[in-house]
Amino acid sequence: MKNCLVVDDSKVIRKVARHILESLDITVSEACDGREALSQCQSSDPDVVLLDWNMPVMSGMEFLQQLNATRSSRPKVIFCTTENGLGHIKAALDAGADEYVMKPFDRDTLESKLQIVGVL
């Protein structure tokens, strides 16, 4: 079974994502900021990370930069954010994100993104 680390400072977003991912037979773990997520990635190997952009302690971009610097092989990363400007999308993809999804998202959208990155 595939597993996903959901990284978001919003408990509501984490709960919605968990519900959708579990309905797709994906095991879910959660982190509320980038630092906690980085720690979890070092102790386990998620197949995919659903990553918020704006978080306290360590942002999504900082997390992605640290993940790239510390891991030779890393999980797929899907940025999940309200930041919808082309500059943000390009910056995320240039930093190594595999996909980008806008909040609010639904099951079909998230399922499609997971298929694109090869998790489903």
All structural domains of the chain with their residue ranges? 3-109
Single pTM value for the model: 0.95
Alpha-carbon distance 97 to 15, whole Å? 22
Q: Are 17 and 110 in contact (CB under 8 A)?
A: yes
Distance CA 58, CA 109 (A): 26
Query: Which CATH number is 3-109's, of 3.40.50.2300, 3.10.450.50, 3.40.50.300, 3.30.10.20?
Result: 3.40.50.2300
Q: Who wins on pLDDT, 57 or 85? A: 57
Provide the β-strand partners of residue 51: 7, 79
Q: Can you state the angle between helices 60-70 and 86-94, rounded to 10 degrees?
A: 20
104-110 contact pairs (CB < 8 A, 24+): 105/80, 106/20, 107/20, 107/23, 107/24, 110/17, 110/20, 110/21, 110/24, 110/50
Lowest model confidence (mean pLDDT) among 8-17, 46-55, 72-81, 100-109? 72-81
